Amino acid sequence: MSATPVRSPTLQRNKMKKDESFLGKLGGTLVRKKKAKEVSDLQDEGRNAINAPMSPSTIDIHPEDTLLEENEERTMIDPNSKEEAKFKELIKVLIDWINEVLVEERIIVKNLEEDFYDGQVLQKLLEKLAGRKLNVAEVTQSEIGQKQKLQTILDDVQEFLRPQGWAIRWNVDSIHGKNLVAILHLLVALAMHFRAPIRLPEHVSVQVVVVKKREGLLQTNHVTEELTTTTEMMMGKFGKNSHFKVAYYV
């Protein structure tokens, strides 16, 4: 009869460690897969809500656009609207105008969302248009600092526009959040108020999808945003006796 081999305690400990290591890795993998699935489910929920039958087209969404807090909302421009000739023309005319105004500052704007969200370019533009310095910090890196600076600048903008009763369709969060519709509303108002020597395309509208989280569910609403009417109507807000100069960047 052969003797039963005696296993070394060292070998037994090594086997136990390997088992524990395997179980640990397996557990970690399962946790990661669960978290990844939760994120994926949330993103799918957002896509399903946005791409529901009521949606006129497929919206290009980002993960952060679907991971919303309760009552938080995001807006996205319908891709078809972005491709419309008048919309593209409006953006081009505004960018060309801004770059001409700021030519002495050696500032070149290429993307409205990226270049205007922190208030830096907006500050320089308003100072040039108004012909005076604004009492704000020149450069700030923190989000809180950027929003404080932006709020001060937008308060100044509102002071300019209030006498003409121009509708304020932007705020700190929308501008800092790189909301293109809000930025365009702001720039159109400034161009009209300061008598910009440009001709904006008339009757420019965009389809906007508003996504809001309510009671844990994503809800969508489709609205039409009117960015410009007629030049006569927009200029009419400021009357015939406007005292603002035209050659502001000379």
Q: Give the pLDDT of residue 50.
A: 45
Q: Give the pLDDT of residue 140.
A: 78
Q: What is the mean pLDDT of residues 173-178?
A: 95
Domain boundaries, the chain: 1-50, 61-236
Phi–psi pair at 222, nearest 5 degrees? -110, 125
Q: Tell me the residue type at 133.
A: K
**CA-to-CA distance for 216 and 46, rounded, in angstroms?**
12
Q: What is the mean pLDDT of residues 58-79?
A: 72
51 pLDDT tier (thresholds 50, 70, 90): very low
Q: What is the mean pLDDT of residues 195-221?
A: 92
**CA-to-CA distance for 195 and 160, rounded, in angstroms?**
13
Q: Give the pLDDT of residue 235.
A: 74
Residue 92 contacts residue 113 (beta carbons within 8 Å): no
Q: What is the mean pLDDT of the chain?
A: 78
Lowest average pLDDT, out of 74-78, 107-111, 186-190, goes to 74-78
Q: Give the pLDDT of residue 206.
A: 96
66 pLDDT tier (thresholds 50, 70, 90): low
Q: Give the pLDDT of residue 21.
A: 53
54 pLDDT tier (thresholds 50, 70, 90): very low
Q: What is the mean pLDDT of residues 26-51?
A: 50
Question: Is pLDDT larger for residue 25 or for residue 142?
Answer: 142
Q: Give the pLDDT of residue 208.
A: 95
Buried b (16+ CB within 10 A) or exposed e, 226-249: ebbeeeeebeebbeeeeeeeeeeb
Is the CATH number of domain 61-236 1.10.3720.10?
no
Which residues, 6 or more positions from 136, have their beta carbon under 8 angstroms from its beta carbon? Answer: 119, 123, 149, 152, 153
How many Cβ atoms are within 10 Å of 211's Cβ, its own excluded? 21
Q: Give the pLDDT of residue 14.
A: 52
Q: What is the mean pLDDT of residues 91-96?
A: 98
Three-state SS for 158? helix
